[in-house]
């Protein structure tokens, strides 16, 4: 199966977060054949019930290529034209999986060993797979993490801070609002105050950002709402202490702010010979906690089309990524250190 065929086969398996089993089984079978050919081993690393990471290795891994198997919803299958492969996960991150496997196969055929391939669950929600992998390291000294960076090495990535904001009210007939209290009105006021919070900036990573991602509540148009909830996501560039204080102040006495996820901003190493970039998204890298080695972040495709109905990956970048990953692994295996 060639690179483009493998990418499409992976895209055509629905693996939205919490439903990664089928794509994991497919990768386990595919990597088992590669392991047999080059005397390696493949295993499932449990992350949560019925959710497993897939890890393949040849000798003791020094360099591990890794990305995630899950995608955001909604699922839609693949199609192909002269320049692109389209479909959910095409660039985030199933094309990356395919290019990493192809790079490993290329290196193995040339006699390289001490390689690993690690594909994890849950990156799109809470990095459950990376956290499980961090608890079960395999001795790797370098981790090449794949996300869509247009094949440029990321020197930094923003962190993420996610909250659930819940407001409570009192039911009443909407003709007599004075008899109740609207949770929706309260929530809107709180969100407006949160949106006014001054956000930090960083010389490398740029400005922190805030997104109100979901909002729901109420019973009917003619009922004063007794409950309402929103999910917000901040992309952080440094210590989030002041943001946390400001969110607490904005919600105090009016709503409940539940912090449900945090991962820090990162500055990452250079590697000789690669163009560089800085990205605003976050990755699994912080959740690995360094247990799989010094991290690098690079992959084919554009983050600007990830998570959209137009998700696609350029075939040219897919092919180039195979050579990039192979060169990076060769350099790290040969020198035992980064070029930074």
Question: Mind telling me the catalytic residues?
Answer: 123
- Secondary structure of the chain in the HEC alphabet? CCHHHHHHHHHCCCCECCCCHHHHHHHHHHHHHHHHHCCCEEEEEEEECCEEEEEEEECCCCEEEEEECCECCCCCCCEECCCEEECCCHHHHHHHHHHHHHHHHHHHHCCCCCEEEEEECCCCCCCHHHHHHHCCCCCCCEEEECCCCCCCEEEEECEEEEEEEEEECECEECCCHHHCECHHHHHHHHHHHHHCCCCCEECCCEECEEEEEEEEECCCCCEECCEEEEEEEEEECCCCHHHHHHHHHHHCCCCEEEEEEEECCEECCCCCCCCEEEECCCCCHHHHCCCCCEEEECCCCCCCCCCCCCCEEEHHHHHHHHHHHHHHHHHHHHHCCCCC
């Amino acid at each position: 199966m060639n690179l483009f065929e493998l990418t499409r086969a992976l895209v055509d398996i629905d693996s939205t977060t919490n439903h990664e089993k089928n794509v994991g089984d497919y990768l386990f079978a595919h990597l088992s054949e590669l392991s047999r050919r080059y005397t390696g081993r493949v295993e499932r690393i449990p992350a949560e019930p019925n959710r497993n990471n897939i890890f393949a290795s040849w000798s003791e891994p020094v360099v591990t290529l890794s990305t995630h198997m899950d995608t955001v919803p909604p699922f839609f299958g693949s199609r192909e034209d002269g320049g692109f492969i389209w479909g959910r996960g095409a660039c985030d991150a199933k094309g990356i999986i395919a290019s990493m496997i192809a790079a490993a196969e290329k290196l193995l055929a040339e006699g390289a060993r001490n390689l690993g391939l690690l594909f994890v669950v849950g990156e799109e929600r809470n990095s459950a797979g990376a956290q499980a992998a961090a608890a079960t390291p395999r001795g790797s000294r370098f981790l090449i993490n794949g996300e869509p960076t247009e094949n440029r090495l990321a020197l930094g990535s923003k962190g993420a801070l996610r909250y659930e904001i819940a407001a409570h009210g009192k039911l009443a007939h909407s003709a007599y609002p004075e008899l109740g209290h609207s949770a929706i009105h309260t929530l809107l006021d709180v969100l407006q105050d949160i949106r006014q919070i001054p956000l930090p900036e960083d010389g490398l990573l740029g400005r922190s950002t805030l997104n109100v991602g979901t909002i729901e509540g109420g019973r009917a148009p003619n009922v004063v709402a007794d409950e309402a909830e929103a999910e917000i996501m901040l992309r952080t560039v440094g210590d989030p202490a002041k943001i946390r204080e400001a969110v607490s102040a904005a919600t105090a006495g009016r709503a409940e702010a539940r912090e449900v996820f945090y991962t820090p901003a990162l500055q990452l190493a250079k590697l000789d010979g690669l163009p560089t970039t800085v990205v605003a998204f976050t990755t699994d890298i912080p959740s690995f906690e360094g247990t799989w080695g010094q991290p690098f972040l690079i992959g084919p495709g554009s983050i600007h089309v990830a998570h959209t109905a137009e998700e696609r990956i350029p075939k040219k970048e897919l092919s180039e990524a195979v050579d990039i990953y192979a060169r990076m692994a060769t350099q790290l295996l040969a020198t035992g250190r980064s070029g930074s």
